[in-house]
Amino acid sequence: MKKIITYGTFDLLHYGHINLLRRAKELGDYLIVALSTDEFNWTQKHKKCYFHYEQRKLLLESIRYVDLVIPEISWQQKIEDV
């Protein structure tokens, strides 16, 4: 099984997000989305989200291309997940 992972905030989900997730899923069998936590967005990305993490997670989990949503908590995580 080929697993694919992508990262993002996915705040105010839109067509571009759906298209990205669809294309990512086409690259493998199992799509993992590392969703930026509210704390990571605020302290590291300097972004304030419209929707809280749990709301954004629920939205992503309802998309048919997404198999698993995990929290993104640091920039270092991208290196460790590889």
Contacts 24+ apart (CB under 8 A), 58-61: 59/10, 59/13, 60/10, 60/13, 60/21, 60/33, 60/35
Q: Side by side, which strands form the sheet with 68-72?
A: 3-8, 30-36, 68-72
pTM for the structure as a whole:
0.90
Q: What is the pLDDT along the chain (82 residues), one digit of tens a residue?
A: 999 999 999 999 999 999 999 999 999 999 999 999 999 999 999 989 999 999 999 999 999 999 999 999 998 888 765 5
* Lookup: tokens for 62: 């309802």
pLDDT for 76 equals 87
Q: Which residues are identified as catalytic?
A: 45, 47
Domains present along the chain, CATH in parentheses: 3-81 (3.40.50.620)
